[in-house]
Amino acid sequence: MYPIYMDWTILLIIPGIIVAAWAQSKVTRTYAAFSKIPTRKGLTGSESARRIMQSGGIYDVQIKSTQGMLTDNYNPRKRELNLSAQNYSGTSIAAVAVAAHEAGHALQHRENYAPLFLRSLLAPVVSAASWLLWPLLILGLMAGFAQTLDIVVYIFLGIFVFQLVTLPVEYNASRRALTALTMDGVLTEDEIYGAKKMLDAAALTYVAATLVALLNVLRFMALSQRRR
């Protein structure tokens, strides 16, 4: 039996790693480029998000500034929209696009968008299962316990399902964001083009994460079968 780092099944996840690295590089480069271009309207990311939410009838979501780069998120449980500092106070196309995307999640929440609800249900389960992943992985690979690897397969399968559910949530939020930015007059037509490029690049990271999760399922299924 070969050590894990020499196992041929690792070749299965290499394409996913390459795609994920490319997607992350693309979103970083795209964000850097559009962070240098201020919008004509001059609204900050937080102001843009507030305008979009209020146009959608949402007045009870707090907008907060958080540390880190691209740490932006919408928390449906706390009804908080968290924007990284550069997007909270920034007036660039990138800042407004990212903030509008998070506001799109708030619009989804208000309308009880089913995939968002499902993702919110899956998130704590997947998070808890992920904590068990590495101990089980080490035990299964080092001790050769096929049953343990079966559990690892199910965990990766759960992660894959979570990522799969995330895709429509993210793409729909971006679509809502671009529509709102246009309808509310936050961005001009040429600025919308830049915002779309920014959000499309960000969406690719979720596609890459889904691919990596699927390849991990296939890899550990193969490892589990070999140890029986």
> 11-20: per-residue pLDDT in tens?
889 999 999 9
pTM of the model: 0.89
- Tokens describing residue 118: 């499902």
pLDDT at 224 over 70: yes
Residue 56 has pLDDT above 80, yes or no: yes
Mean pLDDT of 52-79: 95
Domain extent for 81 = 4-226
β-sheet with 62-66: strand ranges across = 62-66, 80-84, 73-75
Residue type, 93: I
Q: Is the pLDDT of residue 25 over 80?
A: yes
- Choose between 136 and 49: higher pLDDT: 49
Quote the CA–CA distance of 206 and 152 in Å, as a whole number: 22
Report the pLDDT averaged over residues 52-73. Answer: 96
Taking the alpha carbons at both ends of the chain, their separation in whole angstroms is: 13
Q: Is the pLDDT score of 8 beyond 80? A: no
- Examine the pLDDT at 100 and tell me if it is beyond 70: yes
Confidence grade of residue 228 (pLDDT, cut at 50, 70, 90):
low
Q: Helix (H, G, I), strand (E, B), or coil: what is residue 76?
A: coil
Q: How confident is the model at residue 147 (pLDDT cuts 50, 70, 90)?
A: confident
189 is a catalytic site residue: no
User: What integer is the mean pLDDT of 175-199?
Assistant: 97
Going from the C-alpha of 197 to that of each of 31, 200, 225, the distances in angstroms are: 9, 5, 43
**102, 111, 170, 191: the active-site residue:** 102
Domain count, the chain: 1
Q: Is the pLDDT of residue 2 over 50?
A: no
> How many other CB atoms are there within 10 angstroms of residue 11's CB atom?
10
Following DSSP, what letter does each residue of 157-170 receive, concatenated? HHHHHHHHHHHHHH
Q: Compute the residue count for the chain.
A: 228
